[in-house]
Amino acid sequence: MRISQHDIDSKKKQIISFLEEGNKVKISLLMRGRENAYPDLGVEILKKINDDLESISEIDKPPSLEGRTLSIIIAPK
């Protein structure tokens, strides 16, 4: 969950290229240690990424917690 804005921006570029090819994208955040107590912070990160890509994508599977991994699947429009 500790990811800098620059890293998010570079991942968004990759996500955009995958979506333009017509592929679905799974975005996962691994929570470690005390981060497990605050999954809502991870959901905010995932929703922010989805909001930035809202013009070219839609949510296929909403954010869900699977063990220590928080993930979301987005699909092209």
Alpha helices in the chain (DSSP H): 5-20, 39-52
pTM (2 d.p.): 0.86
How confident is the model over 36-70, as pLDDT tens digits?
Answer: 999 999 999 999 999 999 999 999 999 999 999 99
How confident is the model over 21-39, as pLDDT tens digits?
Answer: 999 999 999 999 999 999 9
- Cα dihedral 55, 56, 58, 62 sign: negative
Classify domain 5-76 by CATH number: 3.30.110.10
Domain extents in the chain? 5-76
Q: What angle, 0 to 180 degrees and rounded to 10, lies between the N-to-C axes of helices 5-20 and 39-52?
A: 50
